[in-house]
Amino acid sequence: MSTPEPGPDADLGLVGHELRSPLTAVIGYAQLLGASPLTDEQLRYAEVIERNGRRMLRLVDELLVSAQLAAGTFGLRRVDLDLAEVAGDCVADLGPTARAAGVSLTAHAPDTDGTDGTAGTTEPVRMTGDRDVLAIAINSLLGGAVRRTQRGGSVTVRVGLAGATGAGITGATASDAVVEVVDTGPADGQELLGWSAQDVRWLTLGLPVVAAVVRAHGGDVVVDSPSDSGTRVTVTLPAGSVPAESREASSTPR
C-alpha cells in the first residue's frame, strides 16, 4: 500500500498568525511616522515600509488560505456584504503599490444614476460570502495585474451585475455579481490565457487560490485577453442574500 503524500505543515497556520501580529505593528508604526513632521526623504522611507508591510501581510493571508485549501480545512464565514465596497477597499489598499510602480489603478462600480464611474453614490452589489477571503482573492488579482503591467500602463477593476457589465461568462445570469480586472501588461503576461480551474494541491499562490475561493462561493473564473496585449480576469459570483439557516450550514470555522 502506497504512503500518502505529506500535506502542508500542520504548524503553518500558527506560524502565519504569529507573523500577522508583528507585521500589523510595523504597518501601524509606519503610519505614525508618516503622520509625523518628517523630511520628504524620510516620508518616502515610511511609505516604503508601510507599502511593503502591507504586501507581506497580503502574502501571509493568501498563504494561510492556500494551506487550508490544501489541507481540506478551508471554510467560509458567510455574511451579507457589498462586493463593490470590498473591491473598493482592495483598490485603496493596492493604491500605494500601484503608484510606486507607475501604474494607474482605477475602480468602476454602478452608481445611483445608472452610470459607471467613481462619482456619485455607489449602488451596492449585494451577495452573501466571506468578506475577508473575498478581499484576499481580489487583492491577489489586483496585485498580479499591477506586477504584470509596465510603468505608464493601467489596471482597471469593474464591479457590478453581469447584465450591466456585459461580462460573458458561460452559465452566468444577468443578476450574478461580477468583478472584472483588466490590465495593459505586455504579451509576457499572457501565460494566464488558456488557464483552466484546478484544485489546489499543497501550497500555491495566485490564480489557483483565487479560483478555489471563488468556486467555494459557487462562482467561476474566466481568463482572456481583451486586445493584442493585456489580460482580463472575470470573476462571477452568485448575487443576493442567502437564508440564515443555509448560510450557517455552508460555513465552516477556520
Assign 3-class secondary structure to 132-185.
HHHHHHHHHHHHHHHHHCCCCCEEEEEEEEHHHHCCCCCCCCCCCEEEEEEECC
CA atoms of 58 and 16, how far apart (whole Å): 11
**Position 41 pLDDT exceeds 80:** yes
The whole-chain average pLDDT of the chain stands at: 77
95-124 average pLDDT score: 71
Task: Give residue 163's pLDDT.
Answer: 64
- Would strands 231-237 and 116-117 be described as parallel, antiparallel, or unpaired? unpaired
**Position 174 pLDDT exceeds 80:** no
118-130 average pLDDT score: 74
**Position 200 pLDDT exceeds 80:** no
Task: Give residue 204's pLDDT.
Answer: 63
**Position 253 pLDDT exceeds 60:** no
Task: Give residue 122's pLDDT.
Answer: 63
> Binning pLDDT at 50, 70 and 90, where does residue 202 land?
low
**Position 195 pLDDT exceeds 80:** no
Inter-residue contact 47 to 96 (CB < 8 Å): yes
**Position 8 pLDDT exceeds 50:** no
> Binning pLDDT at 50, 70 and 90, where does residue 172 land?
low
**Position 130 pLDDT exceeds 90:** yes
Nearest partner of 217 among 117, 132, 140, 143, judged by Cα: 132
CA atoms of 125 and 160, how far apart (whole Å): 6
pLDDT tens, position by position, 203-215: 567 788 888 899 8
Task: Give residue 206's pLDDT.
Answer: 78
Q: At what angle do helices 40-71 and 83-101 cross, to 10 degrees?
A: 130
159-184 average pLDDT score: 73
